[in-house]
Amino acid sequence: MCGITGFTGSESALPFLMQGLSRLEYRGYDSAGVTLISPQGLETLKTKGRLSELEELLKSRTLNQCAGIGHTRWATHGVPSNLNAHPHENEAETISLVHNGIIENYAELKEDLIHAGYHFQSDTDSEVIVQLLDYYYKSEQNMFTALKKTLKMLRGSWALCIVSVYEPDTLYVAKKESPMIIGQYEKGTFCASDAPAVLSYTKDILPLADGDMAVLRPNSLQVYNAAGKKMQPAFIHFPYDVQAAQKGGYDSFMMKEIYEQPKAVRETLRGRFRGMKIYMPEIDELKTDWQNVNRIVLIACGTAYHACIYADTLLKRDARIMSYAQPASEFRYCSPNVDEHTVCIFVSQSGETADTIAAMKLAKAKHCTTIAMTNVLGSSLARQTDTVVYTGAGPEIAVASTKAYTTQLVLLHVLMMKISEKLGYKPKNITRRIRDLKRMPEIIEETLGYRDQMKELAHMLKDQRDAYFIGRQLDYPTALEGALKLKEISYVHADAYYGGELKHGPIALIEKNTVVVALATQPDIAAKTISNIEETIARGANVILVTDQNIPAEKFHHVLRIPDAAPELANITSVVLLQLFAYFAAEEKGCDIDKPRNLAKSVTVE
Ligand code: F6R
């Protein structure tokens, strides 16, 4: 959510800081600021609002300093305001910092500092860090030691970048449970909270690990691990270019990403099959004693959680094992009954979602096998689990997840088949499933041909406040995801129900013209869903039916026939239609599709 940039080099720092912040805008923010540093002192400019407002402030100034830090803030402690915006300085204006994360014990620390004579300007938790740094610098006269002492006092999460007048060409960086990367090029050394901020300067990036500290100078970089040991920086090559992080020819990132799904799915499945055999060495290499595994738990948040429900439903069909899907925010607080005989799978596009990471740490503490599925190389989740399988969606910038979801679906499908095999079961219908997975990019391509029809159908929502999505079995997670997409970008209230649950309450909401989106792609249960739909039609609902079954169209208002594929994969194509439906509903209502209100792309706080 918050964005950090930092630069020290032989040329003006401001262009780097500002371009980096603009590349991180998609993460969502409410204020922005920079500190530039020279031997003459610190110059901090910050404001509530968009980056364009910060640019206005910067316009009248000459700011050629060669080192500085920048930040875009998404409020957690203290309302969005000029004072709460980062960077934060100490009272003497000698140290300035930017911080992502949350300091859980900031209230106690603040009280102690106030007793020691410190005055605070903001309501943020972050300001205690800069005051503490000041406190320790006074006794230590050394920034690195002051930082180490400060970090020891903090409880919570942080990505920190610090500048001071004491060493005007040096950035001090620290990371715990909030992402931070470092890069270098011929004109300087820099850091950022996310790769798109630096991709126009380098594709070789160093993701810091939890507990790491780094000292950045124009021509040098030193990295220390949590134990204080100097580390050899291990850069990784980031496989995407800046272009991949821009809108291309589309009106929005979301539409671009919807259209990238065939490619994203292709990349994700690349190398996963040897003929008709599944190739997943990441799972083969696990030391897990599969014969004694008695439980599989799939854990995630939001859209990724819907992918987990899908995978769980699939696994239940293929293998006789106890399994369930649970939101990470529930798993971490429910005293889960898991142990060394449990395999926990964590799904996260960003790999940085705070609840998912906390759930993963709990599972590790309980000796479970931990598998991560994420889209981000070297993300916190990826680094801390026993093994990781990557989706190949490329950077997803629109807040509403689309290509990350479909890539999770296909990779989870392969992973569930692999796990079934490990557990001694032969997945049902495996030949057709593998054949259709291989064809999936073309199948999605064909589905995108429904674009105009979905636009027309979305018009139905123009004057509607509510919509309902129904589906059973493998169609249920699609119903959930369709409803989530619609509400998050168009603000139309949307709910999803199992078809069979309608008559137990929700049907009371159906009246003339209520929009109902019904999914009936599962041959064994489609007839039951059709009965559920008829119940809503009898009460005046305006029904859109998504199906590949042989159902007479005349009974329904609008029938969308998705391309033929194995029933276990039908949800991948039907969700693409629902993404388009939500998109055009939001467009019709004039919503800011890429930046829905109140939402951020990556939720790195609880
Ligand atoms: C919705 C959406 C969110 C995320 C959720 C988890 O469109 O994107 O619900 O799926 O915040 O994020 P990740 O997958 O990064 O852990």
Does any ligand 1 atom lie closer than 6 A to the CB of residue 401?
yes
Q: How much is the average pLDDT of 194-213?
A: 92
The protein residue with its alpha carbon nearest to ligand 1, atom 11, reads 302
Whole-number Å distance between alpha carbons of 246 and 238: 16
> Could you tell me how far CA 574 lies from the centroid of its own chain?
22
pLDDT at 143: 97
Residue with tokens 């404001």: 47
Q: How much is the average pLDDT of 439-459?
A: 97
Query: Which amino acid, residue 365?
Result: A
Q: How far is the CA of 39 from the centre of ligand 1 (A)?
A: 43
Q: How far is the CA of 303 from the centre of ligand 1 (A)?
A: 5
| CATH superfamily, with its number, for domain 250-438 | Glucose-6-phosphate isomerase like protein; domain 1 (3.40.50.10490)
Does any ligand 1 atom lie closer than 6 A to the CB of residue 349?
yes
Which atom of ligand 1 lies at the shortest distance from residue 305's CA?
A: 10
Q: What is the DSSP code (8-state) at residue 256?
A: H
Interval 477-527: pLDDT, tens: 999 999 999 999 999 999 999 999 988 988 889 999 999 999 999 999 998
Interval 595-605: pLDDT, tens: 888 887 777 77
The answer, yes or no, to whether residue 397 has pLDDT greater than 60, is yes
Does any ligand 1 atom lie closer than 6 A to the CB of residue 356?
yes
Which atom of ligand 1 lies at the shortest distance from residue 381's CA?
A: 16
Interval 304-363: pLDDT, tens: 999 999 999 999 999 999 999 999 999 999 999 999 999 999 999 999 999 999 999 999
What stretch of H or E contains 346? strand 342-348
**Which strand ranges, in their side-by-side order, compose the sheet holding 466-471?**
493-498, 466-471, 515-520, 542-547, 558-561
pLDDT at 27: 65
> Could you tell me how far CA 552 lies from the centroid of its own chain?
41
Which atom of ligand 1 lies at the shortest distance from residue 350's CA?
A: 15
Nearest to 342 by CA among 382, 299, 306, 290: 290
pLDDT at 255: 95
Which atom of ligand 1 lies at the shortest distance from residue 485's CA?
A: 7
What tokens does 169 get? Answer: 């060409």
Whole-number Å distance between alpha carbons of 354 and 178: 9
Query: Which amino acid, residue 216?
Result: L
Does any ligand 1 atom lie closer than 6 A to the CB of residue 488?
yes
The protein residue with its alpha carbon nearest to ligand 1, atom 9, reads 302
The protein residue with its alpha carbon nearest to ligand 1, atom 3, reads 302
Measured from the Cβ of residue 513, the count of other Cβ atoms closer than 10 Å reads 11
Residue with tokens 């949800």: 571
Does any ligand 1 atom lie closer than 6 A to the CB of residue 407?
no
Q: In CATH, what is the architecture of 3-246?
A: 4-Layer Sandwich (3.60)
Whole-number Å distance between alpha carbons of 17 and 23: 10
The answer, yes or no, to whether residue 449 has pLDDT greater than 70, is yes
The answer, yes or no, to whether residue 462 has pLDDT greater than 70, is yes
Interval 559-578: pLDDT, tens: 999 999 999 999 999 999 99
The protein residue with its alpha carbon nearest to ligand 1, atom 6, reads 301
> Is 409 in contact with 310 (CB distance < 8 Å)?
yes
pLDDT at 1: 54
Q: How far is the CA of 127 from the centre of ligand 1 (A)?
A: 29
Q: How far is the CA of 402 from the centre of ligand 1 (A)?
A: 10
What tokens does 27 get? Answer: 């993460």
Does any ligand 1 atom lie closer than 6 A to the CB of residue 391?
no
Does any ligand 1 atom lie closer than 6 A to the CB of residue 579?
no
For the four alpha carbons of 381, 383, 389 and 395, in that order, the dihedral sign comes to positive
Does any ligand 1 atom lie closer than 6 A to the CB of residue 262?
no
Q: In CATH, what is the architecture of 451-599?
A: 3-Layer(aba) Sandwich (3.40)
**pLDDT confidence band for 242 (50 / 70 / 90):** low
Q: Which of 401, 409, 487 to mutate to test the pocket of ligand 1 (most atoms within 8 A of CB)?
A: 401
**pLDDT confidence band for 249 (50 / 70 / 90):** low
DSSP character string of 259-284: HTHHHHHHHHHTT-EETTEE--HHHH
Least confident piece of the model among 5-9, 134-138, 585-589, 592-596 = 592-596
Nearest to 37 by CA among 172, 138, 132: 172
Interval 406-436: pLDDT, tens: 999 999 999 999 999 999 999 999 999 999 9
Share the mean pLDDT of the chain.
93
SS (H, E, C) 412-444: HHHHHHHHHHHCCCCCCCHHHHHHHHHHHHHHH
pLDDT at 28: 64
Does any ligand 1 atom lie closer than 6 A to the CB of residue 602?
yes
Is residue 304 classed exposed, middle or buried when 0-12, 13-18 and 19+ CB atoms within 10 A define those classes? Answer: buried
> Is 370 in contact with 364 (CB distance < 8 Å)?
yes
pLDDT at 569: 97
The answer, yes or no, to whether residue 244 has pLDDT greater than 60, is no
> Is 427 in contact with 437 (CB distance < 8 Å)?
no
| Buried b or exposed e, range 393-413, using 16+ CB within 10 angstroms | bbbbbbbbbbbbbbbbbbbbb
Whole-number Å distance between alpha carbons of 337 and 13: 52
Which atom of ligand 1 lies at the shortest distance from residue 353's CA?
A: 16
> Is 289 in contact with 395 (CB distance < 8 Å)?
no
Domain with CATH 3.40.50.10490 in the chain: 250-438, 451-599
Domain with CATH 3.60.20.10 in the chain: 3-246
Q: Helix crossing, 403-422 with 570-588: angle to 10°?
A: 160
CA distance between the termini of the chain: 12
Does any ligand 1 atom lie closer than 6 A to the CB of residue 9?
no
Which atom of ligand 1 lies at the shortest distance from residue 602's CA?
A: 15
The answer, yes or no, to whether residue 245 has pLDDT greater than 70, is no
Q: How much is the average pLDDT of 133-145?
A: 97
Residue with tokens 């629109």: 398
Q: How much is the average pLDDT of 99-104?
A: 89
The protein residue with its alpha carbon nearest to ligand 1, atom 5, reads 302
| Buried b or exposed e, range 515-527, using 16+ CB within 10 angstroms | bbbbbbbbeebbe
> Could you tell me how far CA 93 lies from the centroid of its own chain?
36
Which atom of ligand 1 lies at the shortest distance from residue 303's CA?
A: 10
Does any ligand 1 atom lie closer than 6 A to the CB of residue 400?
yes
**pLDDT confidence band for 243 (50 / 70 / 90):** low
Q: Which of 298, 350, 490 to mutate to test the pocket of ligand 1 (most atoms within 8 A of CB)?
A: 350
Contacts of 473 (CB under 8 A, 6+ apart): 313, 522, 524, 525
Q: Which residues are catalytic?
A: 2, 601
The protein residue with its alpha carbon nearest to ligand 1, atom 10, reads 303
The answer, yes or no, to whether residue 557 has pLDDT greater than 60, is yes
Q: How far is the CA of 355 from the centre of ligand 1 (A)?
A: 11
> Is 322 in contact with 348 (CB distance < 8 Å)?
no
pLDDT at 136: 98
Q: 239 or 384, which is more confident?
A: 384
Does any ligand 1 atom lie closer than 6 A to the CB of residue 375?
no
Whole-number Å distance between alpha carbons of 418 and 154: 42
Cα atoms found within 13 Å of the Cα of residue 82, Cβ hemisphere only: 7
pLDDT at 439: 97
Q: How far is the CA of 579 from the centre of ligand 1 (A)?
A: 15
DSSP character string of 103-152: BTTHHHHHHHHHHTT-----S-STHHHHHHHHHHHHHH--HHHHHHHHHH
Is residue 217 classed exposed, middle or buried when 0-12, 13-18 and 19+ CB atoms within 10 A define those classes? Answer: middle
**pLDDT confidence band for 25 (50 / 70 / 90):** confident
The protein residue with its alpha carbon nearest to ligand 1, atom 8, reads 401
Q: What is the DSSP code (8-state) at residue 506?
A: G
Whole-number Å distance between alpha carbons of 372 and 345: 6
**pLDDT confidence band for 77 (50 / 70 / 90):** confident
Q: How much is the average pLDDT of 8-35?
A: 91
Q: 49 or 378, which is more confident?
A: 49
Whole-number Å distance between alpha carbons of 434 and 294: 26
Least confident piece of the model among 129-133, 243-247, 259-263, 375-379 = 243-247
Residue with tokens 């199948």: 443
Q: Which of 575, 603, 604 to mutate to test the pocket of ligand 1 (most atoms within 8 A of CB)?
A: 603
Does any ligand 1 atom lie closer than 6 A to the CB of residue 303?
yes
Q: Which of 253, 303, 379 to mutate to test the pocket of ligand 1 (most atoms within 8 A of CB)?
A: 303
The answer, yes or no, to whether residue 379 has pLDDT greater than 90, is no
Does any ligand 1 atom lie closer than 6 A to the CB of residue 354?
no
| pTM assigned to the model | 0.76
Q: How much is the average pLDDT of 96-105?
A: 92
Q: How far is the CA of 305 from the centre of ligand 1 (A)?
A: 8
Q: How far is the CA of 349 from the centre of ligand 1 (A)?
A: 7
**pLDDT confidence band for 246 (50 / 70 / 90):** low
